[in-house]
Amino acid sequence: MTDQPAASDTLSDMLAECDLFRDFAYNEISSAARYFNLIEIEEGDAVFQEGEAGAFMCIVNAGKVSILKTNQEEEKVEIARLPEGRTFGEMAVLDGERRSATCIAASPCTLLTLSKESLDRMLLDVPATAAKVVRAVAVSLSKRLRMADGKLVDRRSNCAY
């Protein structure tokens, strides 16, 4: 994993392509971009491991990321493969808790990262923009939870009793 400094305009353009920022004005995106970093991940490298302390979230700018969860037999099972534009690791930015899954680069990846510390700074420096980022993250997590609930109900409906 390599951190790369990136010009604020470049980060703004990358964030503008992400669904998380679709309701943001470009000046709000530019304001938020100052708090993001750009990292490169090689295929097969871990972005983070299940159980680690969480301190940042990611947006897939290029490549694909595999989300793995440990099952009861202690095997890692892929539960999702995220394409460009998708976010992951958001819960850690909000609550700072341990990671609930392992994330591995399924291809060479370029990721935009936002640390909990940077979000806290954003809340102090540009509170309106930071509040909008937090709301967008909460809405994204809410949608994902609703989808997971729907899948769980479908699985239970298909089980023979």
* Chain segment 57-92, per-residue pLDDT in tens: 999 999 999 999 998 998 999 999 999 999 999 988
Question: Which range among 82-86, 138-142, 157-161 shows the weakest confidence by mean pLDDT?
Answer: 157-161
**Assigned domain for 7 exists:** yes
Name the nearest CA neighbour of 58 among 25, 20, 31, 4: 20
Question: Which range among 17-21, 112-116, 119-123, 147-151 shows the weakest confidence by mean pLDDT?
Answer: 147-151
**Assigned domain for 49 exists:** yes
Which pLDDT value is given to residue 134?
Answer: 94
**Assigned domain for 80 exists:** yes
Number of domains observed in the structure of the chain: 1
Task: Measure the CA–CA gap between 54 and 137, rounded to whole angstroms.
Answer: 16
Mean pLDDT of 117-134: 96
**Assigned domain for 122 exists:** no
**Assigned domain for 120 exists:** no
CA 102 from chain center: how many Å?
Answer: 12
What is the reported pTM? 0.84
For residue 71, give the H/E element and its range: none
**Assigned domain for 136 exists:** yes
CATH classification at residue 42: 2.60.120.10
Question: Which whole-number Å values give the CA distances from 12 to 3, 37, 57, 108, in the listed order?
Answer: 17, 11, 17, 21
**Assigned domain for 67 exists:** yes
**Assigned domain for 31 exists:** yes
Q: Which residue range is the domain that position 104 belongs to?
A: 2-115+127-158
